């Protein structure tokens, strides 16, 4: 036990400033021992404490203010317990006095004297941590540690996670203290996320009754900014100039050549322009009077006021989580679409995400660089690698082939990173275990390209729909904003019985350097680019949603699913369809909100008009004259092979599309026999009462359990480990 921490508390109890000395050594007098025994200290404790005073350890002993405060708090708690016990005794005596006051008067007087003394000691101890945190109160020789503002890990060098400079509020506190010394330090502005973090840190000091809690089950997504850090302070259309160098060195002929005839080397400049997308959150809280009719617990602090501001504050904290999640998904999957000024837009339409940024650099985009040499022209910056479609059975070979195609002057630097969707990493581990598991040099769970240890692998979250992999220099891709924390700077305005709330911010994710801008794709040779990728992104089996009440747009992907329209909508064209490329149209809603295609106009070559039911698919190809040729059409399960009735381990040999039977009893599919690794199998449902089910477990790795009722389907792929992984469902 470190008795040095207890010295201020013991002195406070005894009402002393120092201990008496005998032969030059501090010690406890008999009176002091007796007094401390009266407060509950044992003889063994007092003997050890007295020995410490007489012979304090030479190495020890300095104590921090926090340690001394803890010791004082412990003794204070003990003394408070004694006070409560003595008070209880006093109450009992007073009760007895009612019947025999004279007999107990002396005892009552003695107890009151004890209680008075205890109260005096408690007052001394309570004031001690603030007025005298231990400095000079005992025999400790070490001084308290200095408040060190130069410490970049802990605020002032104070120990404990609460003072960590990872906390934004500690960062701002340090910046404010340094500002007093004339030193400026840039820190993020406060936001509601900071307050939430502070609330989490202080959680041990307050509690909300369980019966009054209002629970939200919204889970915050992991942030992609750990992969691509955010840089603040940027405006739209900021331009960064990139320099591309030609070859310069040559054999020395200076003794016999003319200078001007042998000069060589070129400098070419390219531009990367930062595109910052404006995003907003707008909401209106109507009269919250009706909340009084339901239990909102401690949040109802305004009584009958129709505007429940405390409840609104709670909702905005939850809204901050939702905004965070939407931005994380948008960083990956976003596709900017120009908004209608008077209609609410979709979250994914607010800004381009990472994969859309890459697609535009591969497929071409209109250069928006101000006053650039290619401004207003369609430019291409990434020449993709022609690689096989990635499956669990060939993923290792694809990673090897693609990495091999990167110029060695970049690949061998140790700075190149391969970025893959997160679902591919288990595929890669299983591939390596299957092919190299018996190799003594093989290490399980490697996060680098096995044949190229200098090329690390990093996974991108929330990218399950994508099959694009890409390589670039570590740190080349970043996220950007204009003002840190701006998304959560909510503005509130009360108007009558409503509260308007909004925030506006700018965001972007893109690369600092992509490559030279070519206006002719045929001129590209891959020598002047710093991002390399495979030649496809979204698989044909994945359908992107079309726009409501509009013709389908094949710019992003060739597989499109329609959405529910305001009324039945007639498709008359497919925007951005490429000549000779098959487009798959899937009906996502039928009836009054569905779609139709008449055998007329650009679709006059169809075999007949298309009036689909939900799940039906029409495949067409654009001809050079702009008209569409029908390639095939099918209902959701028209060409499917049917599983036998009540079959739990059906065979999938010889086909890839199946439909379950109308079973006679509950049927759980536990395996698909005769399946081939790397092949995607589609299973459509049938019936309802005894529809086949597939559980997430054993041979199946699903996002959740699946019930294959009529109209439902699931796509599965068999991996090298023998298990079936979910690809898509609907």
- Please give the pLDDT value at position 207: 43
Three-state helix/strand/coil letters over 432-478: HHHHHCCCCCCCCCCCEECCEEEEEEEEECCCCCCCCCEEEECCCEE
Alpha helices in 641-722 (DSSP H): none
Handedness of CA 222, 228, 230, 235 (dihedral sign): negative
> pLDDT value at position 211?
46
649 contacts 671 by C-beta, under 8 angstroms: yes
Facing residues of 270 across strands? 242
d(Cα 131, Cα 604) in Å, to the nearest integer? 92
Q: Is the pTM of this model over 0.85?
A: no
| Phi, psi torsion values for 84, nearest 5 degrees | -65, -40
Question: Which residues neighbour 582 within 8 Å (Cβ) at sequence distance 6 or greater?
Answer: 558, 619, 620, 621, 631
Q: How far is CA 184 from the centre of its chain?
A: 31
Give the whole-angstrom CA distance, residue 577 versus residue 593. 24
Q: Residue 597: which residues within 8 A CB-CB, separation 6 or more?
A: 570, 571, 603, 606, 609, 610, 618
Per the CB < 8 A criterion, the answer to whether 546 and 552 are in contact is yes
Integer Cα distance of 125 and 136 in angstroms? 16
What pLDDT sits at residue 134? 42
Q: Is 508 buried (19+), middle (13-18) or exposed (0-12) by CB count in 10 A?
A: buried
Integer Cα distance of 610 and 602 in angstroms: 13
555/140 Cα distance (integer angstroms): 76
Please tell me the total number of residues recorded for the chain in this structure: 730
Tell me the CA distances in angstroms from 666 to 479, 650, 685, 689, 700, one per residue in order: 50, 15, 14, 8, 18
Distance, in Å, from the CA atom of 436 to the CA atom of 349, rounded to the nearest integer, reads 44
CATH placement of domain 544-634: 2.60.120
Three-state SS at 316: helix
Dihedral sign computed on CA atoms, order 202, 203, 205, 211: positive
Residue 481: Cβ-neighbour burial (10 angstroms; 0-12, 13-18, 19+): buried
Element (H, E) at 508: strand 498-511
For residue 69, what pLDDT is reported?
54
The first and second tokens of residue 691, run together, are 């529809």
Whether the Cβ atoms of residue 276 and residue 303 lie closer than 8 Å to each other: no
Q: What is the pLDDT of residue 136?
A: 43
Instruction: Give the residue ranges of the chain where pLDDT is below 70.
Output: 1-2, 5, 39-40, 57-84, 93, 96-107, 124-145, 162, 189-217, 244, 287-308, 636-640
Can you tell me the distance from the alpha carbon of 705 to that of 668, in angstroms, rounded to the nearest whole number?
11
DSSP assignment of 365-384 equals EE---TT-TTTTSEEB----
Q: Which residue has the tokens 């209880």?
A: 88
Q: Residue 709, class by beta-carbon neighbours within 10 Å (0-12 exposed, 13-18 middle, 19+ buried)?
A: middle
């Amino acid at each position: 036990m470190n008795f040095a921490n207890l010295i201020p508390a013991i002195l406070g109890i005894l009402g002393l400033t120092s201990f008496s000395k005998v032969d030059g050594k501090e010690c406890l007098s008999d009176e002091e021992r007796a007094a401390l025994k009266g407060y509950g200290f044992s003889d063994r404790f007092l003997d050890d404490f007295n020995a410490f005073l007489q012979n304090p350890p030479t190495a020890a002993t300095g104590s921090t203010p926090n340690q001394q405060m803890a010791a004082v708090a412990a003794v204070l708690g003990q003394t408070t317990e004694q006070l409560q016990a003595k008070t209880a005794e006093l109450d009992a005596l007073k009760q007895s006095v009612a019947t025999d006051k004279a007999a107990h008067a002396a005892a009552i007087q003695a107890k009151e004297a004890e209680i008075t003394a205890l109260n005096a000691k408690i007052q001394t101890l309570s004031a001690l941590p603030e007025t005298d945190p231990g400095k000079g109160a005992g025999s400790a020789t070490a001084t308290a540690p200095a408040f060190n503002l130069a410490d970049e890990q802990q605020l002032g060098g104070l120990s404990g996670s609460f003072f960590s400079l990872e906390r934004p509020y500690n960062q701002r506190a340090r910046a404010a203290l340094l500002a007093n010394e004339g030193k400026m330090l840039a820190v993020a502005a406060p936001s509601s996320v900071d307050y939430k973090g502070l609330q989490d840190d202080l959680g041990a000091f307050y509690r909300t009754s369980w019966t009054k809690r209002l629970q939200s089950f919204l889970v915050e997504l992991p942030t992609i900014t750990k992969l691509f850090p955010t840089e603040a302070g940027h405006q739209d259309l900021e331009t960064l100039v990139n320099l591309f160098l030609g070859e310069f060195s040559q054999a020395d002929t200076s003794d016999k050549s003319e200078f001007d005839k042998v000069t060589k080397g070129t400098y070419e400049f390219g531009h990367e322009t930062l595109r910052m997308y404006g995003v907003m959150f707008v909401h209106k809280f109507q009269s919250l009077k009706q909340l009084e009719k339901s239990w909102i617990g401690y949040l109802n602090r305004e009584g009958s006021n129709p505007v429940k501001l405390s409840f609104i504050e709670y909702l905005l904290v939850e809204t901050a989580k939702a905004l965070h999640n939407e931005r994380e998904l948008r960083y990956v999957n976003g596709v900017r679409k120009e908004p209608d000024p008077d209609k609410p837009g979709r979250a994914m339409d607010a800004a381009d995400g990472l994969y859309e940024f890459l697609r535009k650099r591969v497929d071409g985009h209109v250069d928006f660089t101000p006053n650039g040499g290619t401004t207003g022209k369609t430019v291409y910056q990434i020449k993709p690698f022609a690689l096989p479609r990635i499956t669990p059975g060939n993923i290792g070979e694809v990673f090897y082939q693609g990495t091999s195609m990167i110029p060695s002057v970049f690949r061998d630097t140790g700075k190149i990173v391969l970025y893959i969707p997160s679902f591919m990493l288990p595929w890669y581990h299983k591939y390596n275990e299957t092919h190299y598991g018996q190799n003594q040099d093989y290490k399980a769970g490697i996060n680098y390209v096995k044949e190229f240890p200098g090329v690390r692998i990093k996974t991108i979250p929330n990218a399950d729909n994508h099959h694009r992999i890409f390589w670039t220099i570590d740190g080349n891709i970043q996220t950007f904003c204009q003002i840190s924390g701006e998304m959560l700077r909510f503005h509130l305005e009360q108007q009558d019985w409503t509260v308007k709330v909004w925030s506006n911010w700018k965001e972007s994710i893109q690369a600092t350097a992509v490559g030279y801008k070519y206006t002719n794709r045929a001129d590209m040779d891959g020598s002047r680019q710093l991002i390399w990728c495979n030649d496809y992104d979204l698989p044909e089996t994945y359908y992107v949603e079309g726009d409501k009440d509009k013709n389908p747009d094949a710019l992003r992907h060739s597989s499109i699913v329609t959405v529910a329209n305001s009324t039945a909508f007639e498709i008359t064209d497919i925007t951005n369809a490429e000549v000779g490329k098959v487009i798959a149209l899937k009906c996502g809603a039928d009836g009054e909100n569905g779609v139709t295609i008449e055998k007329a106009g650009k679709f006059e070559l169809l075999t007949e008009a298309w009036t689909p039911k939900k799940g039906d698919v029409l495949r067409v190809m654009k001809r050079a004259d702009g008209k569409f040729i029908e390639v095939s059409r099918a209902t959701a399960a028209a060409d499917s092979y049917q599983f036998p009735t009540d079959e739990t381990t059906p065979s999938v040999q010889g086909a890839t599309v199946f439909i379950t039977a109308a079973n006679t009893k509950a049927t759980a599919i536990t395996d698909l026999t005769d399946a081939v690794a790397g092949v995607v199998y589609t299973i459509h449902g049938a019936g309802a009462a005894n529809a086949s089910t597939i559980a997430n477990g054993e041979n199946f790795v699903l996002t959740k359990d699946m019930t294959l009722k009529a109209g439902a389907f699931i796509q599965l792929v068999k991996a090298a480990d023998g298990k079936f992984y979910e690809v898509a469902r609907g």
